Amino acid sequence: MVEPQQLIRSFIRDLAPYIPGEQPAAANALKLNTNENPYPPAPEVLSAVRDCVDGRLRRYPSPTSAPLRKALAAYHGCAPENIIVGNGSDELLALAIRCFVTPISEASSSSGSVVQYFDPSYSLYPILSRIHHVRGNAVSLNPDFSIPDLQALQEDAAWDEDAALTFITTPNAPSARGYTTDQLRSICATLNGVVILDEAYADFAEENAAELGFTMPHVMVSRTFSKAFSLCYQRVGYFIGDPVLIGAMDKIRDSYNVNGLGQVAALETLRRLDYYQERIEWIQRERALLMEALEPLGFESLPSAANFVLTRPTRGAAKSWFDELRKREIYVRWFDHPRVRDYLRISIGSSDEMARLIAAMREIWESV
């Protein structure tokens, strides 16, 4: 008899998959663990989706997400050829590795098979590297989660200027720290491979680096409708970049990679930007209020340019706070990772949700 285990490629058999944040079942659960937007999509977005739920579902959607790419091009002031849309930006991150990084066994130089990223940053990158059987190269951020200055980077033996692909999460996750376009530009200028600026949270920041996707031919900028535009469920993300790199990725994507309802929702979202801008401002305000409320409880929060806060209790262990909150059906994120084990990552919710969180934290504070 064939043993199914033996049919699996050996590195996949041993692969530890990505662990998404918990999806609690309880109706009264307060979910502050995956950086979802607390507000629903604009009413017009919901009705646009509803309006196409009929017999047309039997048809394939636009294979190239053509209407959406056209609208995104108008939004960013570029051509549709500068844009590729994916089934969430996660799909495009994986596609970029397949497109630009050579598997270890075929590479003629070691850097040709290197995917480089900062540590800590989005924990999906090392896993995608393993899935595609290329080398992940983690380069340490400074203790305050800033990016080392150029000279320090160049002196760091781990830094590989020839890495086939470098991911920079900006604003950083899980720290929420923002980086300036000037610093990103100078780092990109020293790199000889492809650079992807993962701007999943850029809409919550003071500045973004979209221009680098147009001015530097080896730089692409990754955006998503998941976070600022309340569309996690629909899975729509996109890259902006040079038509040559975008075109290469376009060749290897699945023919109908973005579902039709997602395309419709994203397209309508771009017509309702005022609705989202207002809510982004509400989230920024709640972010400041949360940090203020946590301070008397002894929490030290990092500055945030995103819709979440990384904060460190000075009384009680972070894991105990996580467990105590969980007992109250409040779900935040705690990472069992050396650099962030002492912190909680809390997504910003509505003011009612933040009030419930803060009340629970005051109660826990009495007992730790």
Residues contributing to the site for ligand PLP (CB under 6 A): 88-90, 122, 169, 173, 198, 200, 224, 226-227, 232, 237
C-beta of 111 vs 230, nearer to ligand PLP? 230
As measured in angstroms, the least distance from the Cβ of 153 to ligand PLP is 20
Distance CA 236, CA 140 (A): 30
**Closest alpha carbon to 267 in 12, 44, 4:** 44
C-beta of 219 vs 297, nearer to ligand PLP? 219
As measured in angstroms, the least distance from the Cβ of 346 to ligand PLP is 14
As measured in angstroms, the least distance from the Cβ of 321 to ligand PLP is 22
As measured in angstroms, the least distance from the Cβ of 137 to ligand PLP is 18
As measured in angstroms, the least distance from the Cβ of 167 to ligand PLP is 9
The label of the residue with tokens 């041993």 reads: 14
C-beta of 11 vs 18, nearer to ligand PLP? 18
The label of the residue with tokens 């973004």 reads: 208
C-beta of 95 vs 364, nearer to ligand PLP? 95
Helices 260-269 and 43-51: angle between axes, nearest 10 degrees: 150
Six token digits for residue 211:
């221009």
C-beta of 93 vs 318, nearer to ligand PLP? 93
C-beta of 345 vs 364, nearer to ligand PLP? 345
C-beta of 90 vs 268, nearer to ligand PLP? 90
C-beta of 88 vs 193, nearer to ligand PLP? 88
As measured in angstroms, the least distance from the Cβ of 86 to ligand PLP is 7
C-beta of 82 vs 121, nearer to ligand PLP? 121
As measured in angstroms, the least distance from the Cβ of 58 to ligand PLP is 27
Residue nearest to ligand PLP (CB): 88
As measured in angstroms, the least distance from the Cβ of 30 to ligand PLP is 19
As measured in angstroms, the least distance from the Cβ of 291 to ligand PLP is 20
As measured in angstroms, the least distance from the Cβ of 285 to ligand PLP is 21
C-beta of 32 vs 297, nearer to ligand PLP? 32
3-class secondary structure per residue, the chain: CCCHHHHCCHHHHCCCCCCCCCCCCCCCCEECCCCCCCCCCCHHHHHHHHHCCCHHHHCCCCCCCHHHHHHHHHHHCCCHHHEEEECCHHHHHHHHHHHHCCCHHHCCCCHHHEEEEEECCCCHHHHHHHHCCCEEEEEECCCCCCCCCHHHHHHCCCCCCCCCEEEEECCCCCCCCCCCHHHHHHHHHHCCCEEEEECCCHHHCCCCCCCHHHHCCCEEEEEECCCCCCCHHHCCEEEECCHHHHHHHHHHCCCCCCCHHHHHHHHHHCCCHHHHHHHHHHHHHHHHHHHHHHHHHCEEECCCCCCEEEEEECCCCHHHHHHHHHHCCEECECCCCCCCCCCEEEECCCHHHHHHHHHHHHHHHHHC
**Closest alpha carbon to 171 in 114, 215, 120:** 120
* Cis-peptide, bond into residue 174, ω within 30° of zero: yes
